[in-house]
Structure 1
Amino acid sequence: MLTAAVFVPSPPLLVPELNGLAAGETDELRGAALAAASEIADCTHWVVVGTGPTAGRVASTAIGTFRGYGADVRVDLGPDATGDPDPDLPLSALIAGWLRDHAAPTVRAEVHIVPIDAGRDECTRLGQRLRAGLDDADTPRGLLVIADGAATLTAKAPGAFDARAEAVETDLTAALGAGDPGALTALDPDRCAELLLDGRAAWQVLAGVFGAAPSAVKIAYSGAPYGVGYHVGIWRP
C-alpha cells in the first residue's frame, strides 16, 4: 500500500560533512528533506527512484559511502545492510541511505536507477509497474523520488546560464505544486537534456506512479540556491 510519495533533490551538499564551513547555507534545504522523509518513516519499505547514465537497481542490503564526494560518510540502505561501504553506489542511492539513516532507520530502501535519457513512455510504464507493486504490498510503503530541476539557472550553475531554463523550471515547479502528473509527463526530454534537467526521467516516473492527481500536495522547499532547481515535497494518493 502506497502511503505517500516524497521528492527531494540529489545534491551531496545535503550532507553537512561535505560542506565544511558552508554547511549552514543548506540548513533550510536539509531540514525540509529530513522532515519530508520522516513523513514515510513508519513504512516498512521505501521504493526509491533516481536517475543515472544507465538503468540499475540497488538492494536494501547495500552500504555506501560519500568518500568519492569528499568525506567518508557511511550510509546503509536497510537495517540488514552488510559488507564494506561501496563508494561507487549511485548518488541517488547514497542520498536515500543518508535520509534513511537520519529519518527512518528501520526502513528498507530499494533503489531503482532510471537512465537519464529514458523516454516518456518508458518512464510512465515503470511508474505504473512500481505503483502496482506498491498497492499489492500488505504493509505500508513509501515512494522516494530523488531528482533535481534545471542546472542552468544562473551563471554560476554547473551548466552555466541558459535563458531557456527559467521557463522550464517554472513549469516543473508549477506541476509539482499543483500535483499535475500530466504536466510532468509533458516535459520535453530533448529540451530537458539541453538544460541539464537530469531529474526529468524520475519526475516522469512519479507521474506514472500517480496517473491521476494526488489527493493532497505539500511543497516544503522550492529554490535554486546554487543555480540548480531543488524541490522538496509530498504527494499523497
Structure 2
Amino acid sequence: MFTAAALVSAPPLLIPELAGGAATETADLRAASVAAAQHLAARARRWTVLGVGGTEAEYGPDTLGTFAGFGADVRVQLGGADPTASPAPAVPLAVLVAGWLRAQADPTVVADAIVLAADTSPVYCADVGAALRSRLDATAEPHGVLVVGDGATTLTAKAPGAFDDRAPEVQRELDAALTAGNLEFLRQLDPVACADLGIEGRAAWQVLAGLFGDDAPRCRTDYQGAPYGVGYHVGTWEL
C-alpha cells in the first residue's frame, strides 16, 4: 500500500566524499535530505525510487553502483546486492543518490527504481504514476516512494546552465507548487520549457502527480535553496 513520498535532489555534492571544500556549504541540504529519507523509512521499509536519466530504465534491489565517475569510489546499493560484486556501469545519478540516502536512513530498506527519460511526455508520466499507484495499493506492505529531481540549473551566472532571466520566477513557482502539493501545476509543466531552463526533475514530479491522482497530499518542506545556482527541494508528501 502506498503510504508517503519523500522528495529530494541529486547533486553529487550531497555525498561528503565528493563535496570536498563544499561540504559545509551543502550541510543543510545534506541534513534535510537524510532526514526526509529517515521519515520515509519510518513509514515504509520498501521503496520505489523515481528519477530522471538519459533513457528509460528500471533497476532492481540487486543494483550496485559507484560514484567513481564523479570522483570517489563510494559504493551504494538498493538493498539486495552482493557488496563484493563489481558495480554496474553507468547507474544514473538519481539511483546512486537514492542508494546513498537509503543507507543513511535505514540500511534494511529495500528499493527498486524507475528512471524516466528527460524528454518523457507528461501524458506518459501520468500513466506511469497511476500504474505505480495501482501496483503499490494492491499489496498489504507499506510502500514509500523516493522522488529524486532537481530544479532549474540556470539561476545564476555561475550555474551549470549559466543564467536565464526566466529561471528565477519559474523556480519560485515550482518551489511553491512542491511546497503546497499543487498537482495540477506539476501536470502542466512543459517539457520544452523545462529543458531550456535545466529543470531536470520535471518527469519525476509528473509521475509523482500521477501517483497521487485525485488525492491531495499533506506536504512538509524541509529545505529549499539554490546553492551554486541550482534549485533544490527537499520534503515529504503524505496521504
TM-score range, shorter chain: over 0.9
Instruction: Return the offset for 1:171.
Output: 1.5
**Separation of aligned partners in 2, 1:213 and 1:133:** 16
Aligned to 2:188: 186
The SS at the match of 2:50 is strand
> Following superposition of structure 1 onto structure 2, how do residues 156-235 of structure 1 map, counting pairs within 5 Å?
156-235=158-237
Note the alpha carbon deviations across 1:76-109, whole angstroms, 9 max, x for none. 110x212212242111110010001110211111
The SS at the match of 1:100 is helix
Contact preservation (8 Å) 1:68, 1:87: no
Q: Residue 150 of structure 1 aligns to which amino acid in structure 2?
A: A
Runs (5+) with no aligned partner, structure 1: none
Instruction: Return the offset for 1:218.
Output: 0.0
**Separation of aligned partners in 2, 1:226 and 1:214:** 32
**Separation of aligned partners in 2, 1:3 and 1:213:** 12
Aligned to 2:66: 65
The SS at the match of 1:145 is strand
> Following superposition of structure 1 onto structure 2, how do residues 1-237 of structure 1 map, counting pairs within 5 Å?
1-42=1-42, 43-78=44-79, 80-82=80-82, 83-237=85-239
Contact preservation (8 Å) 2:147, 2:204: yes
**Separation of aligned partners in 1, 2:126 and 2:226:** 27
**Separation of aligned partners in 2, 1:140 and 1:175:** 26
The TM-score, its normalising length taken from structure 1, stands at 0.97
Note the alpha carbon deviations across 1:166-186, whole angstroms, 9 max, x for none. 121112111111111111011
User: Hey, which bits of structure 1, 4+ residues long, moved more than 4 A?
Assistant: none
**Separation of aligned partners in 2, 1:214 and 1:5:** 13
Contact preservation (8 Å) 2:13, 2:22: no
Q: Residue 74 of structure 2 aligns to which amino acid in structure 1?
A: V
Shift in alpha-carbon separation, 1:215–1:207, aligned structure 2, 3 A: closer
Q: Residue 27 of structure 2 aligns to which amino acid in structure 1?
A: D
Contact preservation (8 Å) 1:214, 1:235: no
**Separation of aligned partners in 2, 1:137 and 1:14:** 33
The SS at the match of 1:226 is helix
Contact preservation (8 Å) 2:48, 2:111: yes
Note the alpha carbon deviations across 1:92-133, whole angstroms, 9 max, x for none. 110010001110211111010101001110000000011111
Runs (5+) with no aligned partner, structure 2: none
The TM-score, its normalising length taken from structure 2, stands at 0.96
Please provide the CA RMSD for this pair.
1.1
